[in-house]
Amino acid sequence: MSQELEGAQPQLPSTPPEAAAVAGVGAELARLFAGQVEPQGDSFGTEVVKVRPTALRDVARWLKEAGFHLLLDVAGVDYRGRRPPEERFEVVYHLLDLAGRRRVRLKVALPEQEPTVATVSDLWPAAQWAEREVFDLFGVRFQGHPDLRRILMPDDWQGHPLRKDYPLRGPQRTPSVQGLRSRFFPVRAPEDDRLAGPAESSPASPPDARGLQEGESRHGT
């Protein structure tokens, strides 16, 4: 029995012969799309290629036909203050060739004013929600996207929270909280029952006993 088990050990895959070919994708792209792509070397087994926004769709289509059938993720980056305004935003695509065990990362730099890039959701339907997320949080517009709505934030949200110039607590902390209160408590009836009960009959405590200073109240009042 043990001999059988030993004999049944799976064949470990040898070093993939495609490992050499991985270095070839960037070079091949640079040859096919001269002046439009810029190979940036290997990053932990992933070929990194910088692509001009205008060439993205052609590059993406070529990669898909070359076997990169799986779009792993579409991510956004804000390089505010670290790069010129013409390259403030970057959209990053991760592609995987399942059969050839190859990985490619495409980087597209976009300007600060109206960052726009073509969608790849017709090539990889998985891009639909990923592109909506980048639009929601960074304000990058994807031309040709069938349904470019916010996906994480409420539909009526203002701004794009993952931009570096978006304040952590939101642009209008106090007004928004007050707006929320007035939305859900339109009328504050005097018999508001939350403080009813025997334990809360101690008006002797000073107003700042809760440790809140004026203007710092959580309710903004």
Q: Which residue stretch of 14-22, 47-55, 111-119, 168-176 sits at the interface with another protein (rule: CB under 8 A)?
A: 168-176
**H/E/C letters for each residue in 31-86?**
HHCCCCEEEEEEECCEEEEEECHHHHHHHHHHHHHCCCCEEEEEEEEECECCECHH
Contact residue for another protein among 184, 190, 201, 202 (CB under 8 A): 184
Q: Does 152 contact another protein by CB under 8 A?
A: yes
Q: Does 212 contact another protein by CB under 8 A?
A: no
Write down the least CB distance from residue 125 to another protein, Å.
Answer: 24
Q: Does 177 contact another protein by CB under 8 A?
A: yes
Question: Which residues does residue 94 pair with via DSSP β-bridges, in sequence order?
Answer: 73, 105
HSE value, Cβ hemisphere, 13 Å, CA-based, for 135: 21
Residue (of 13, 12, 16) closest to 101 by Cα position: 16
Q: Does 191 contact another protein by CB under 8 A?
A: yes
Q: Does 193 contact another protein by CB under 8 A?
A: yes
Instruction: Give rounded-to-5 percent helix, strand, coil for the chain.
Output: 30, 20, 45
Identify which of residues 123 and 177 has a Cβ nearer to another protein in the complex: 177
For binding to another protein (CB under 8 A), which residues are involved? 152-154, 157, 161, 166-170, 173, 177, 180-181, 184, 191-194, 196-199, 218-219
